[in-house]
Structure 1
Amino acid sequence: MHRTRSRLELTAAALVFVAGAAAAQTPADPAAVPAFRKLDSMEARAQGCVTCHGQQGQGTSNDYFPRIAGKPAGYLYNQLRAFRDGSRRYAPMNYLVAYLSDDYLKELAEYYAALRPPFAPPQPAALPPQGIERGRTLLQDGDASRQIPACMACHGPKLTGMVPGIPGLVGLRPNYIAAQLTRWRTGERRAAAPDCMQRIASRLGDNDIQAVAAYLGAMAAPSDPAPDPRDIVRMPVACGSQQ
């Protein structure tokens, strides 16, 4: 009874959050209009996520709010816990999950991991040919001279991530990708030790970040967007997110 009541209270709080956020947006993004079938359900309780991430976690028209649908549950759980505990900072997210338990965050992560909404159309790369080629090289081959492994070596051949904790990159917008790589590089964003992304991002220059972001943003989604199973590839660096 107490669990049900807590969930209903969280749902009500989420709806207030969504209503207030939606009122501030003109016009409203159709992908972010709250809609659910059953009050006591994870679909209803997740309405606090809709304004930024879309009704099915597909993302919205705002470049900086990413697609979260279909990402590995372990990755989503790690991010939710990082927002809750303050090791990843973004005030609206920190506030929204501040008092949620580990079990609840796992349930929320599993809900979004199971969703498979359509992908937004890719964005044409706004870089000269040499920039596009640099992005392709870093994604597919890396740069051995600077000890930068290929993105595909960790994020999978389809760039859809790897269970349990490596996120998919396809379907993210260039501005979001560039912003996150910059945060990794500066140490503003961190992960469990050994922090492989911080180590790799610290070796990227500004032009590298723009090239990777543009190339990824222009990629079409694969026919099967599911994350790859664990250890489908041998990762080139130790990564705490996979432990």
Structure 2
Amino acid sequence: MLAPGAAGAQPQPAAERLPDTMEERVRACIGCHGVQGRGVENVYFPRLAGKPAGYLYHQLVAFRDGRRKYLPMNYMLAYLPDGYLMKMAEYFAQQDPPPLRQPAVNRPAQQLVDGRRIVNEGIPGRKIPACATCHGTGLAGREPGIPGLLGLRADYVSAQLGAWRYGLRTAIAPDCMQVIAASLTEPEVAAVSAWLASLPVDPGVRPARAAKVALPMACGSHR
């Protein structure tokens, strides 16, 4: 064997340099959230693409600071500064890959009727606002910090509402989603989750632009 640099030794190829782009830097996210944040078949890993940058940023900060608890996310984000988290959020917000085809929702017809009523009308007698009031009439979200609700599986929506109900997921105070979720009964959570999961996702639908509209209650994350 010839020593490095000796006559006749073959030069070693230089290590391949990866492009210094945000696309390359967020490759660790692909395994769970899909290429460009498109989403995957796993019910608990949601689509990131196209959600408002402000919303994604708040979630990244919440995972980093422990307000949302999922150990892989808590670990990966533990030492990332705010500015870098915002760049990650902006990257995924700008993506628009085709949505995954959603599986059919096999739930009782009355449950879907109840879910549709709560999503579109709320429960006025208990001062629970309609989901569409904040998340938009098309439920595609609203800039800067309100996410779309389409393209999510029923079990995922139910799990997130449950996490808010029991304080496992929190947002910037005043935490309007905690108040709303805690006001819903278990059957109402199931109905809302089933109805949202039954809705189709139209390609190219984007969150509504920020507008000076009064929300039905104070919400700290809508900034």
Higher relative contact order (CA 8 A, sep 6+): 2
> Corresponding residue for 2:35?
55
> Corresponding residue for 1:228?
208
Return the match for 1:197 from 165, 169, 177: 177
Return the match for 1:128 from 92, 103, 108: 108
Which SS does the other structure have where 1:137 is aligned?
Answer: helix
- Residues 54, 170 of structure 1: alpha-carbon distance in 2 compared, 3 angstrom cutoff: same
- The alpha-carbon deviation at position 231 of structure 1 amounts to 2.7
Matches of 1:103 and 1:79, distance apart in 2: 14
> Corresponding residue for 1:108?
88
Structure 1 contact 153–233 (Cα < 8 Å) conserved: no
Whose Rg is larger?
A: 2
Matches of 1:87 and 1:129, distance apart in 2: 36
Matches of 1:91 and 1:39, distance apart in 2: 29
> Corresponding residue for 2:53?
73
| Identity, % of aligned positions | 50
Letter in 2 for 1:131: Q
Deviation readout 1:17-75 (Å, 9 max, x if unpaired): xxxxxxxxxxxxxxxxxxxxx52111110011011000110111100000111000001
Which SS does the other structure have where 1:181 is aligned?
Answer: helix
Q: Does structure 1 residue 95 correspond to structure 2 residue 75?
A: yes
Structure 1 contact 52–60 (Cα < 8 Å) conserved: yes
Return the match for 2:151 from 157, 164, 171: 171
Which SS does the other structure have where 2:180 is aligned?
Answer: helix
Matches of 2:213 and 2:197, distance apart in 1: 23
Letter in 1 for 2:184: L
Structure 2 contact 99–203 (Cα < 8 Å) conserved: no
> Corresponding residue for 1:31?
none
Number of corresponding residues: 207
The root-mean-square deviation of aligned C-alpha atoms, in Å, is 1.5
Structure 2 contact 98–203 (Cα < 8 Å) conserved: no
